[in-house]
Amino acid sequence: MTASSSISIAIVGSGGAGALTTVNLLLEAASAAGWHGLFTRTLGPQIRGGEAAGLLRLATHPVDCLPDQFDLIIGIDWLNAHRFGSEIKAGPQTLVISDPRGGEPPPMVTESGARVVEIEMKEIAKSISGGRPNMIALGIASRLLGFGVEQVFALIAKRLGGKGTSAMEASRAGIKAGFEAAKGVRFEAQLEKPVPGEVRRWLLSGNEAAALGAIRGGVRFAAAYPITPATEILEWLSPNLAKVGGVLLQAEDELAAINMIIGASYGGTPSLTATSGPGLSLMIEAIGLATAAEIPIVVIDVMRGGPSTGIPTKSEQTDLNIAIYGLHGDAPHLVLAPQSVSDSLFTTQWATYLAEALQSPAIVLSDQFMGQSRAAIERPADVAFIGARSVATSISGGYKRYAMAPGGISAMALPGMPGGQYTADGLTHTERGIPTSGAADHLAQLDKRRDKLERFNYGDHWASIEGTGDIAIVTWGSLTGAAREAAARAAADGLNVRLIAPRLLSPVQPERFAAALEGIARLLVVEQTHSGQFLRYLRAHYDLPAKTRALNRPGPLPITAGEIHRAIIDWR
């Protein structure tokens, strides 16, 4: 069989089996060798321990989505694996390595026609002093993926260097034993060699990327209330903000977190908080305050299954409605969505820039899949989007905080500036910030806040628009990667497909969207919701072709490139 440009592997094990560590090491080994990769954890409901699987896709090109099917599945054990077995798709091409003492593979795997090879990983581990089954699995995977054992040893030395020689020796012995055990196992999938001479590789999660993007964009204050799957953003920011002269404050709840960042930003410091659906719900009232008082803030919502507590550890795109429409009153604000782990950096940085430039709250809709996946990527380019709000200078008498300036953006006085004293207010106010219930003032300020967002030139970053043809896939957020891959497969079939994925969800861009739809006769709308929130949003704001279809499903099962591809092909 010929080598392909991507390969995928899942390692399954119950708590403590070390499945996730193994996959992480494979990702590191592969990215050190120059491949790209994406590593997603899937966990059961237990806080610690319980069942876990590490899903890994390696490729010669950037990977932003999981595969339709796994080439290799290693079950260190299968205890409770049925709880998420449906997320680990197998097929007749799949090789399953199973420890016969670790229970039965779930029906999803056995009924797929996959070839099962039994290797006694636990027994082999027992024969090694301090041996662990996951190191056996690592050895097996390394051999099957074509990594040299020395390559993996070098990585282990780097990773476990501090853990003492006996731990290291046990790991090396385990890897070696696994390597031996896999000898003669037929595995046909092969990964092409990485493109040589590529740039520096980074390994990071979408949450980390978003946090770095925020700092690059100028954020120097964050307020934090932990919530899955957003916590890593806050945990990364805490030490790193301190390194650049900023600070993170832990809040007593999300109501406090959002108000803390409004206070800090009022004082002149670009500010951010990160949360998930339940927290965003609590923040909504104050986001409206920031809209009315024109205080720039950034709120990252790493979406998870909802409503209510929902599925905290699984991805969904169901906060679209609340992010765009959740505020009471007419409250225009920015809503943006990154499209991959790598793009989480850019989009969060851009959101910070836009929030500052437009003196508006910006909600960044990431999701659990993107936020918690670790990717091996090329170092994202430096971009020039550094937040800089219009600050009042030389204030002379009768300062008007909310003056009807051209473009709707009025210069902001910061506490400490003589003559700039004003009271920021959620009450409807005059140009001077004085409370009023007058119709004319109300209308004038509503116009101002609408116009400043609508008249701004967002440039080409507003969306990813790729490809030609008269059929288009419209999607957003982390599904962009799967849609892009589906379009590429269709192109390989000889069918040109356009991809349209808006990064800027609010304010809407009717002219740009219409231009993107030029020549499109059929439109496939792809989203991870039950109710079709994105389709309704598109219908509300844009003219869609008569032939518009939806491919939508709630979490936790991701929509794969294969499904999107099939939907396109079947429509032909």
Residues at the site binding other proteins, with contacts judged by CB under 8 A: 28, 31-32, 200-204, 208, 212, 215-216, 220-221, 223, 236, 240, 242-247, 249, 251-253, 255-257, 259-269, 271, 285-286, 289, 293, 376, 379, 413, 415-427, 433-435
Measured from the CB atom, the residue of 249 and 491 that comes closer to other proteins is 249
Measured from the CB atom, the residue of 78 and 266 that comes closer to other proteins is 266
Output the 3-class SS for 277-300.
Answer: HHHHHHHHHHHHHHHHHCCCEEEE
DSSP 8-state assignment for residue 311 = B
The DSSP line for 469-505 is SSEEEE--TTHHHHHHHHHHHHHHTT--EEEEEESEE
Provide the minimum distance between the beta carbon of 244 and other proteins in the complex, in angstroms, as a whole number: 4
* 349 touches 217 (CB < 8 A): yes
Which runs of consecutive H residues, i.e. helices, occur in 17-148?
A: 19-32, 107-110, 121-126, 133-145
Provide the minimum distance between the beta carbon of 202 and other proteins in the complex, in angstroms, as a whole number: 4
Provide the minimum distance between the beta carbon of 86 and other proteins in the complex, in angstroms, as a whole number: 32
Provide the minimum distance between the beta carbon of 212 and other proteins in the complex, in angstroms, as a whole number: 6
Measured from the CB atom, the residue of 117 and 203 that comes closer to other proteins is 203
* 499 touches 466 (CB < 8 A): yes
Provide the minimum distance between the beta carbon of 440 and other proteins in the complex, in angstroms, as a whole number: 19
Provide the minimum distance between the beta carbon of 484 and other proteins in the complex, in angstroms, as a whole number: 23
Residue whose entry in the numeric block shows the structure tokens 């008269």? 470
Provide the minimum distance between the beta carbon of 459 and other proteins in the complex, in angstroms, as a whole number: 23
Measured from the CB atom, the residue of 218 and 306 that comes closer to other proteins is 218
Measured from the CB atom, the residue of 54 and 433 that comes closer to other proteins is 433
Measured from the CB atom, the residue of 70 and 225 that comes closer to other proteins is 225
Provide the minimum distance between the beta carbon of 253 and other proteins in the complex, in angstroms, as a whole number: 7
- Cα 106 to the center of its chain, rounded Å: 29
- Rounded CA separation 534/525 (Å): 8
For residues 50-71, one letter each, b for 16 or more C-beta atoms within 10 angstroms of the residue's C-beta and e for the rest, the string is ebbbbbbbbbbebbbbbbbbbb
In this structure, what are the phi and psi dihedrals at residue 55, rounded to the nearest 5 degrees?
A: -110, 125
- Nearest C-alpha neighbor of 341 from the set 474, 480, 464: 480
Measured from the CB atom, the residue of 417 and 488 that comes closer to other proteins is 417
Measured from the CB atom, the residue of 39 and 266 that comes closer to other proteins is 266
- Rounded CA separation 270/300 (Å): 14
Across 251-360, the runs of DSSP E, i.e. the strands, are 271-275, 297-303, 334-336
